[in-house]
Amino acid sequence: MKKFSIYCIALVAVVFFVSESFAAVGNAGCGLGHVIFKGDTGKTMQILAATTNGTSGNQTFGITSGTSGCDEAGNVVYNEKVENFVAKNMDNLASDMAKGSGEYLTTLAVLLEVKEGNRASFNTKLQSNFSKIFTSEKVTSKEVVANINDVVS
Amino acid sequence: MIISKNGCRIIIPAFFFLLILINNFTWCKKLNSEEIISSDQLIVKYISIARELKLYNDKYWHILLHYKRGLFGTRSLIDDPKYFLADDGKYNPKSELEAAITALFANDEAVDKKNKPDKCRFVARFNWLVEKLKIPEIELPDIICDSYENMMNQIKPTSVTLVFPSGYLDSPASMYGHTFLIIETEQNSKLLAHGINYMAHTRESFGPIFALRALLGSYKGYFSMMPYYQKVTEYSDLENRNIWEYKLNLNKQEIKRLMMHLFELDNIYSNYYFLDENCSYNLLFLLDVARSSLGLTSEFTTTVTPVDTLRVIRKKNLCDNPVFRPSKTSKIIYLASKLTVKEQNIAIKIAAGKDDISQVEKLNIPKEKKIILCDLICECLQYNLAINDISKIVYGKYFISTLKYRSSLGQHENILKTMKVPDYPENGHKPNRLALNTGVRNSEVFQEIEYRPTYHSLIDSDEGYNPGSEIVFGEIVARYYYEEKKIKLHKFNLIDVYSIPASNKFFFQPGWKLLTGVKQTFISEDDESLVAYLNAGGGLAYDISFLGRLYLFGDVETNGAKKLEKNYSLGAGGTFGLLSNITTFWKSHLYSRALYYGLGDKHEFVEAVAQQRFRLTTNSSIIFGYSFVNTYEKNWHEFIFKINLFF
């Protein structure tokens, strides 16, 4: 008997589930469950001060604000995407790539789903093709990602 | 009516089918009406069980709702009314629990569908209730709450780490450091971990106002989430703070409970109090929810500093030794130490855009050295850009050309891995200091007692602290002169902060100091009096090998007292000092100060001080001190012996 009521409710719930999953999750602000990715693409080599909202080293009595950003629709972009990681960490990534090792390079490999057994050759390949990836100081993160794809494929 | 034989075979089953259909509908209706009665009955049933078990007094219920027992009864530290289901939920654990049970069985139609139904928010609370009241699944209303599940599917947490960026003197809010959590995911890279941060939300950028409002709890504190790499850049590269990562040994179930509670706290505020209900303290609730046996939040009754919380998580065996992530300035100093002076100077020139990488290419040095040199140039370039010493264009040009050259040098074991890890922050001396002293001043013997509630002095052991830093608030010194036979307030240090960083060829870091309070000072040849004082100064310091840290400061001081001529005096002068770590247990501080008070009560003040501190244990030390003062044309000599206890 209970099963019928469950069936009735489930039918109703499925309708809500479907509509819920297409709506933006959460409220308008950026709270938990929202990893922030500004929709920046093609940014040129970022100066450290502009990539974060932290205080600069010289500012006396500065306070690091705890706010975080979201894109306009408040959409959740949960899975780390290569482009966003490259855009936000371009300098440190370039540095690691030139060295052929480092945390940022490893993170790139993880995002590109390079298996652990293939990481060594991945690192070497990118290092020896450094100039093809970071072509000049004006290179944009979008170009870097495209160049990396060209090199590894 | 004549029914054909064939017709019977169709019509009769059809008739029965119709009957069954009608019955089903009536059953559905019956069940619905039974349902409504049922949920009320269930509510009554479980509230009564809860009362029997006195669940509203359960320790875990109090942790989930952040209840604290105080002088005026129990209240929740959370101030956002959205967190409570009962109107008096903030002050009444019993009514909050019963409101929770009611909400658990609430018919979904009764809830405004535009907002998230309560049960979808309060996952931790309801999970706990179901477990404690042993509510079978079949009795629970069927509600699909996907936002929490979505979060878990996207984060896929595997571990939790507590992160401590060390103290940063140039910002009052950051003097004591900061703590936040990172949630590592199945993607095996720490930089991609999700940072969980509790902070006061404000756009205030003027330090003293922020400090005052934060002390009074006039900001709202929220939890927020951001990628760890963002925090690494902010703390390590921009603010030049070392970062310590303490990986917690929480198991899968515990991590799940932590995430459930974190989800409950989304967009919920508590008033942010700098001294006690601050970033570090609020994180502890998440850990207590994960593992209720910890009792971290009940370890603290008054103030909480980030390092206090590190001590407590180590005491409770929640983690092992931390991983050290050096700041950019630490990295630069270390890389430079591996190179000759000539090589360092080449690095400085290139990082300033005054020379190019060909200077390195043509050097006749081993490849390993060239690699270190390139690494140093890049770190310096980034530092110079961060402090606006070079333009973005210059930075880009030299950064790329250096990296291009570096990539041609191949791979090599990262030299930074051999960097010596400093003493762990939690292993330093504790913040409170009590000193029992004996001394003699110009043949007058005295006993003295000092109490300092926080935090660290220049003469204390630097283990776990920033060298050249002093942070003292509210220190009291009382003296008893045997001849006078009375106890006098000798000094009350309201604020006593020194920042004496070392400058070098790579960094120009000016120091500063700010002191204020009341102190006994000479106001004539024979008389001393309690005066209010305010001293501010700035200067430079350099580390000289074999000697220590040499500093030179300019001073401005004003004193106020009725006994002073015109009730005040204003003077300027300088201080010259040397801080030396002679051995691991012996530190020396020598300084001399001269102040010329040209306004108000005109007089001169010259002093020379020598302090020798010997460490006995991490939390005890002795000091031999001598000071010479010449003021109002009289000399004063004071010898003092101090026994310090830290707790």
Q: What are phi and psi of B222, to 5 degrees?
A: -130, 155
The sheet with strand B270-272 has its strands ordered as: B270-272, B219-227, B194-200, B180-185, B157-165, B243-247, B323-325
Confirm or reject contact between B111 and chain A (CB < 8 A): no
The torsion region of residue B66 among left (phi > 0), alpha (psi -120 to 50) and beta comes to left
Residue of B nearest to A4 (CA): B28
Instruction: Work out the widest C-alpha separation in chain B, in whole angstroms.
Output: 138
Q: Cβ of B625: how many Cβ atoms within 10 Å?
A: 18
Task: Give burial (CB, 10 Å; 0-12/13-18/19+) of A59.
Answer: middle
ipTM of the complex: 0.85
Is B35 within 8 Å of A92 when comparing Cβ atoms?
no
Angle at the Cα of B26 (from B24 to B31), degrees rounded to 5?
A: 95
- For residue B300, give how far its alpha carbon lies from the nearest alpha carbon of chain A (Å): 25
In total, the C-beta contacts within 8 angstroms joining chain A to chain B are 241
Q: What are phi and psi of B85, to 5 degrees?
A: -90, -30
Q: Tell me the pLDDT tens digit for each residue of B123-145.
A: 999 999 999 999 988 888 877 77
Is A49 within 8 Å of B386 when comparing Cβ atoms?
yes
Is the model's pLDDT at A54 over the cut of 80?
Answer: no
Is the model's pLDDT at B13 over the cut of 70?
Answer: no
Q: Cβ of B471: how many Cβ atoms within 10 Å?
A: 20
Instruction: Label residue B302 by pLDDT band (50, 70, 90).
Output: confident
For residues A126-131, average pLDDT: 96
Tokens coding B204: 């205030």
Token pair 């929810």: residue: B289
- For residue B176, give how far its alpha carbon lies from the nearest alpha carbon of chain A (Å): 13
Give CA–CA dist B35/A82, Å, rounded: 51
- CB contact residues (below 8 A), chain B span 147-176, against chain A: 147, 150-151, 154-155, 170-174
Say what the pLDDT of residue B10 is: 56
Q: Which of B147, B170, B395 sits opposite A60 (nearest CB)?
A: B170
Residue of A nearest to B508 (CA): A58
Reduced to 3 states, what is the DSSP secondary structure of residue B488? strand
The torsion region of residue B353 among left (phi > 0), alpha (psi -120 to 50) and beta comes to left
In contact, B595 and B618? CB cutoff 8 Å? no
Q: What percent of chain A has pLDDT over 70?
A: 48
- For residue A64, give how far its alpha carbon lies from the nearest alpha carbon of chain B (Å): 8
Q: Is the dihedral of CA A135, A137, A143, A144 positive or negative?
A: positive
What is the rounded (10 degree) CA torsion for B450, B454, B455, B461? 30
Q: Tell me the pLDDT tens digit for each residue of B174-226.
A: 889 999 999 999 887 999 999 999 988 877 767 677 778 888 888 888 888 88
Is the model's pLDDT at B433 over the cut of 80?
Answer: yes
Is B392 within 8 Å of A45 when comparing Cβ atoms?
yes
Instruction: Label residue B23 by pLDDT band (50, 70, 90).
Output: low
Is B239 within 8 Å of A123 when comparing Cβ atoms?
no
Is A137 within 8 Å of B206 when comparing Cβ atoms?
no
Q: Tell me the pLDDT tens digit for each residue of A59-116.
A: 121 122 222 333 333 333 333 478 888 888 899 999 999 999 999 999 999 998 888 9
Q: Which of B146, B219, B237, B394 would you mutate first to test chain A, the one with the most A CBs within 10 A?
A: B237
For residues B489-503, average pLDDT: 95
Q: How far apart are the first and last CA of chain A?
A: 59
Confirm or reject contact between A29 and chain B (CB < 8 A): yes
Instruction: Label residue B105 by pLDDT band (50, 70, 90).
Output: confident
Confirm or reject contact between B235 and chain A (CB < 8 A): yes
Confirm or reject contact between B21 and chain A (CB < 8 A): no
Give CA–CA dist B480/B448, Å, rounded: 6
- CB contact residues (below 8 A), chain A span 42-71, against chain B: 44-45, 47-49, 51-68
Is B233 within 8 Å of A92 when comparing Cβ atoms?
yes
Give CA–CA dist B247/B632, Å, rounded: 59
Say what the pLDDT of residue B637 is: 97
Give the distance, in angstroms, between the CA of residue A37 and the centroid of all CA atoms in the same chain: 6
Q: What are phi and psi of B29, to 5 degrees?
A: -60, -45
Instruction: Work out the widest C-alpha separation in chain A, in whole angstroms.
Output: 72
Give CA–CA dist B255/B287, Å, rounded: 9
Q: Which residues of B505-539 are buried (b: 16+ CB within 10 A; e: fewer)?
A: ebbebebbbebbbbbebbbbeeebebbebbbebeb
Q: What are phi and psi of A39, to 5 degrees?
A: -75, 35
pTM: 0.83
Chain A neighbors of B170, CB-CB under 8 A: 59-62
Confirm or reject contact between A19 and chain B (CB < 8 A): no
Alpha helix segments (H runs only) across B352-416: 358-361, 367-386, 392-407
Tokens coding A126: 């990118």
- For residue A23, give how far its alpha carbon lies from the nearest alpha carbon of chain B (Å): 11
Is A32 within 8 Å of B265 when comparing Cβ atoms?
yes
For residues B556-579, average pLDDT: 95
Tokens coding A99: 């060295």
**Eight-class DSSP state of B319:** B
Q: Tell me the pLDDT tens digit for each residue of B54-77.
A: 999 999 999 999 999 888 889 999
Q: Which of A9, A57, A85 sits opposite B387 (nearest CB)?
A: A57
Q: Tell me the pLDDT tens digit for each residue of B497-519.
A: 999 999 999 989 999 999 999 99
Q: Is the dihedral of CA A36, A41, A45, A46 positive or negative?
A: negative
Confirm or reject contact between A121 and chain B (CB < 8 A): no
Say what the pLDDT of residue B266 is: 86
Say what the pLDDT of residue B488 is: 94
> Higher model confidence: residue A29 or residue B57?
B57
Q: Which of A21, A66, A127 sits opposite B146 (nearest CB)?
A: A21
Q: Which of A4, A27, A48 would you mutate first to test chain B, the one with the most B CBs within 10 A?
A: A48
Confirm or reject contact between B393 and chain A (CB < 8 A): yes
CA nearest neighbour of B632 among B527, B530, B538:
B527
Chain B neighbors of A144, CB-CB under 8 A: none
Say what the pLDDT of residue B25 is: 53
Is the model's pLDDT at B3 over the cut of 50?
Answer: no
Is the model's pLDDT at B562 over the cut of 80?
Answer: yes
> For B30-44, B242-256, B354-368, B500-514, which range has the lowest pLDDT when averaged over its residues?
B30-44
